[in-house]
Amino acid sequence: MTEPKSGVFISFEGGDGVGKSTQIKRLAERLSTVGWDVVTTREPGGSPGAEAIRKLLVEGDKDKWSPMTEALLMVAARRDHLERVIAPALERGAVVITDRFSDSTMAYQGMAGALGTHAAATLHALVVGDNNPDLTIILDLPIEEGLRRASDRAGAETRFESKGEQFQQAVREAFLTIARSDPGRCVVIDAGGAVEETERAVWRAVESRLPAISAPG
Ligand code: TMP
C-alpha cells in the first residue's frame, strides 16, 4: 500500500436503494469496452474477510452493535478490502469502482448515527489515510423511493433499512454535506429519473472529472 498508485479509484455513495449497483455495472461495462481493466467491488465486503464481517453488520437487530463497535467492524472490513483488493488493483493500473467506501462510515455512523464526526474522521485517518477515491459519485434520491426500491430486494440484509425514515433522511443529508465539503472529489447526481438518464449523468461526471479515462492509460 505504499507504492504510488497508477490506476483510477471511483466510489459510488448514497442512501439505500438509490441504484448504485445498476450504475456501477453500466459504468464498468463502458470502461471495459474502451479497454480498461475494471474491478467492481463493494463495502462492507469486497474481500473474503470483509464479506464475513459484512454478514455481522447487515443482518439482525438494528441495535445489536454499539455505535463504536459498528464503526470498528466497518473499518476493519475496509482495511482488509483496501489491502487485499483495492490497493493491488490500483497498483497494476486498473479502474476500481466500489459500491460504498469511507463516506458511508462518515454518513451512517459519524453524522446520522451516534459515533460523531470526530471519531469517524479519526478512524478514516488511521485506516484509509491518503487512499481516497479520485472521484466519488453520490446518487441522490428521496428516501421514500430509495427505501421502496431497497425493500424489493432486501432478503436478510435489512439491518440498516430498519433504522427508520428519520435515520435515512439524516443519511441523505449527510452525503449532501460531505459533497459540499469536498467538491473536488464528489459529484452529486439526481437518481430520480430513468436509469439511462442517470447513466448519462454518471458518464458526463466521469469524463469531465477524469479526462484521461476516455482511453486507457
Ligand atoms: P449496501 O446495502 O449498500 O450493500 O450496504 C449495506 C449497509 O451498510 C447500508 O445500509 C449502508 C451500511 N454501511 C454503513 O453504515 N457504513 C459503512 O461504512 C458502509 C460501507 C456501509
How high is the mean pLDDT in each 10-residue block of the chain (217 residues)?
74 95 98 96 98 96 94 98 98 97 98 97 98 98 90 79 90 98 98 97 96 76
C-alpha cell at 217: 492509460
Amino acid of residue 173: E
C-alpha cell at 97: 469502482
Please compute, for residue 123, the number of CA atoms within 13 A of its CA located in the half-sphere on the CB side: 27
Q: Please, what are the domains in the chain?
A: 8-214 (3.40.50.300)
Q: Which residues contact 204 (CB under 8 A, 6 or more apart)?
A: none
- Ligand 1, pocket residues at CB < 6 Å: 16, 42-44, 58, 74, 100, 104-105, 108-109, 160
The span from the CA of 49 to the CA of 81, in Å, is 8
- pLDDT in the model for residue 147: 86
Q: Where are the alpha helices (DSSP H) in 96-159?
A: 102-104, 117-127, 143-151
Residue closest via CA to ligand 1's atom 6 equals 58
- pLDDT in the model for residue 197: 98
Q: Which of 21, 108, 123, 138 to mutate to test the pocket of ligand 1 (most atoms within 8 A of CB)?
A: 108
Residue closest via CA to ligand 1's atom 10 equals 160
Kindly give the interhelix angle for 143-151 and 165-181, rounded to the nearest 10 degrees. Answer: 120
- pLDDT in the model for residue 211: 87
155 dihedral zone (left: phi>0; alpha: psi -120 to 50; beta): left
Residue the block writes with cell 430486494: 153
- pLDDT in the model for residue 3: 54
- pLDDT in the model for residue 213: 86
Question: Ligand 1 centre from 42 Cα, in Å?
Answer: 9
Q: How far is CA 207 from CA 6, 12, 66, 176, 183, in A?
A: 18, 15, 41, 22, 16
> Ligand 1: which atom is nearest the Cα of residue 161?
10
**Torsion of the alpha carbons at 143, 204, 98 and 110, rounded to the nearest 10:** -50
> Ligand 1: which atom is nearest the Cα of residue 159?
10
**3-class SS at 137?**
strand
Question: Ligand 1 centre from 173 Cα, in Å?
Answer: 16
- pLDDT in the model for residue 85: 98
Give the residue from 200, 193, 179 showing the smallest Cα distance to 11: 179
Residue closest via CA to ligand 1's atom 18 equals 105
Residue closest via CA to ligand 1's atom 3 equals 16
pTM here is 0.95
